[in-house]
Amino acid sequence: MASRMISPLTIVLTKIFSRGFYRANAGLLLFFFVILISYTILINPAGTMPHEMFGFYQLIVMLTFISSPVTMTVIFISWLLYTVKSWQYVTAQLAVSENCFLFYSTTSLGKLRQLRSWWWMQFVITLPITIYGILAVALGIANHHYLLPIISILFIFFLITVSAAIYVWLANRLSAGTVAPLALKLPVRWKKPFFSLFLYHIIHKIKPGGIITKIFSIFCLTSGAYSMFSSNRHDTRVAGLLILTAVTGHLYLIYQEHRFEVMTLAFSRNFPYSRNRHFLYITLRYLLLLLPEMILLFIMGPPLIAMLLLLYAISVMLFFRGLLYWLGLNMNIYLPVVFAVYILLFWLIMYGYLWPSAGMLLLLAYGIFYCRYYKLQPNE
């Protein structure tokens, strides 16, 4: 029975595209999983909800995102971006010469059979989303939430079906040479300063990851806006924890920035720029990258507190970038080290060392950068 449901074409498509997608994006998926668990377990219990009655329930609500339509809308946008990223990967792989046989083997079948095989392939790609949907339905029924879990399941089904239809349409085009990766390019051209090249790289190459990162970061700030600037404005621990989590959400972009510098801009080390100038360029780049969060901070709270929180955010980002100069492009080592640093900074904030830790991180970031910038790193 199972062999009839899973056709040979489905197995081939899953091996080529689904497995390849997870291999290509393993670091990104692991990173967001670590950040989600960190935010859910560490930040949420630090609030004012009584642990005895609502701690576990609130943890489940944060994990499944079924508590409000606004939150569900944010999650739907992130799911759509995840799906668009899968479209980009699959269409790029369809253009590879080794996969040209698919244009002849798949089109020999009926459109409905093609759609079913592509549907199961996309279903495997969207398993992280699908598992959430199943969990949302189970928890929604258990806690008498019905509408949002059902809508989430329907939305997931819609995304998978539309994706499968797009793949069938691409596979049935007359020539394999007509398939091109989905891309959105800015039609405007202007001068690009050296420090801004990575920002353009985000727009040109890693738009989905960049947009998801900013959505997560802004969601962290807006979800805790009341706690960040409540009547007790002298206690900035909650604000510091939210800023720390939002900045940690930029790890993917920080890693891609270092990779871009090592792989694409290695020649820039021969430029007549001092290390101090390069460090200032990185700082300016992070200021521009955090511009949406900066605007939110100044809107939600006093300018002085917002300025200090921005300083802390920049210090954390610079330190995370400095770790890459030390550890290199080894994600398997980098992520555990960053998670350990996150835990350490979490407790420093809880004990009231937010501002001293900002100064310490800034000094450490500069020291690592100055000592390691011209030295070869592992895996380079």
287-302 pLDDT, tens digit per residue, is 999 998 888 888 877 8
pLDDT, tens digit (0-9, with 9 covering 90-100), for 245-257: 889 889 889 998 9
Give residue 339's pLDDT: 87
What 3-state DSSP class applies to 167? helix
Give residue 316's pLDDT: 95
CB 192 within 8 A of CB 200: yes
Determine the Cα–Cα distance for residues 212 and 208; give it in Å rounded to an integer: 6
Q: What percent of the chain has pLDDT over 90?
A: 15
CB 203 within 8 A of CB 214: no
197 to each of 255, 282, 318, how far by Cα in Å? Answer: 15, 11, 18
Give residue 300's pLDDT: 77
The beta-carbon contacts of 297-301 under 8 Å, at least 24 apart in sequence, are: 297/221, 300/221, 300/225, 300/228, 300/229, 301/228, 301/229, 301/233, 301/239
Give residue 1's pLDDT: 42
Determine the Cα–Cα distance for residues 43 and 32; give it in Å rounded to an integer: 15
Give residue 154's pLDDT: 84
- Please give the helix or strand (H or E) that residue 43 lies within, else none: none
Determine the Cα–Cα distance for residues 255 and 321; give it in Å rounded to an integer: 7
CB 142 within 8 A of CB 135: no
Q: Please name which of 316, 317, 306, 345 lies closest in space to residue 225, comparing C-alpha atoms.
A: 306
pLDDT, tens digit (0-9, with 9 covering 90-100), for 248-288: 889 889 998 998 988 888 888 888 888 999 999 999 999 99
Its pTM surpasses 0.75: no
Most confident of 109-113, 136-140, 162-166: 162-166
Give residue 144's pLDDT: 66
SS (H, E, C) 332-374: HHHHHHHHHHHHHHHHHHHCCCHHHHHHHHHHHHHHHHHHHCC
Give residue 74's pLDDT: 66
Give residue 69's pLDDT: 60
Query: Predicted confidence band at 27 (pLDDT cuts at 50, 70, 90)?
Result: low
- Estimate to the nearest angstrom the gap between the alpha carbon of 338 and the chain centroid: 15
What average pLDDT does the chain have?
Answer: 76
